[in-house]
Amino acid sequence: MSQQEDDLRALAKIMDFLRAVSIVLVVANLYWFTRVETVESGWFYSTVHKICANFNRTCGLFSTTFNAKLFALLLLGLSCFGTRGVRSENITWRHIGVTIATGSILFLLNWWTLDIGMRYTYIISTVAGYICLLMGGIWAGRMLKNNMMDDRFNDENESFMQETKLMDNQYSINLPTRFYYQKKWHKGWINVVNPFRATIVLGTPGSGKSYAVINSFIKQMIEKGYSGYIYDFKSV
């Protein structure tokens, strides 16, 4: 459970990073097309201009008002649908559709305000549209119930039916297991019915080889009358 919680936290950090990059692209778009300076620092704006100019020269990010916005929308969409929150009963698909439609109009269809010199109108409409799209995306992500969100790490498709029958004989070593399959936990067995053919246990240091396998092997071999030579090599 702790490993899955760590994976979920890591996924949340990735989604937050994508959303942050999306916001940076929107801010860069506003600066490039309006050149409104909010702080008194010439070197800061010269550095920002060089960075934006390099992006524009290599991939045409700011050749039109749409390019950076489309990239920002892509990252915003990934960040909204990559996480799932608690569904609110007050939110419906109608609310989501109206919010996204309003955000799309304000965010994408405001280029004409620059043509008539309304820079601050362009900034306000872009920010308002982005907020609407963000809200609509979060709500849509909460409403959607699909297998990808229910099984973020593909645990269900990576699981399979394992041996559940105990195959015991006078020589066998039998290790009890517990595995997840078809949304249920099952009890099973690892049956080494012929240990004379050799057995190897691989794993990283501290992964539990001795605790889960080796100790059980030794205990069962002693109970069944095996003779053995145990050598535990530790390098210094």
Going by pLDDT thresholds of 50, 70 and 90, the confidence category of residue 198 is confident
- The residues facing 175 across adjacent strands are 190
- pTM, rounded to two decimals: 0.55
Those residues whose C-beta lies under 8 Å from the C-beta of residue 143, and which sit 6 or more positions away, are 87, 91, 93, 96
Q: How many CB atoms within 10 Å of residue 73? A: 21
Going by pLDDT thresholds of 50, 70 and 90, the confidence category of residue 111 is confident
Confidence check: pLDDT of 47 > 90: no
Task: Return the structure tokens found at 129.
Answer: 């549209």
Chain segment 162-186, per-residue pLDDT in tens? 899 999 999 999 999 998 888 788 9
Confidence check: pLDDT of 212 > 90: no
Between 45 and 84, residue with greater pLDDT: 45
Those residues whose C-beta lies under 8 Å from the C-beta of residue 160, and which sit 6 or more positions away, are 181
Going by pLDDT thresholds of 50, 70 and 90, the confidence category of residue 119 is confident
Those residues whose C-beta lies under 8 Å from the C-beta of residue 28, and which sit 6 or more positions away, are 48, 52, 55, 62, 68
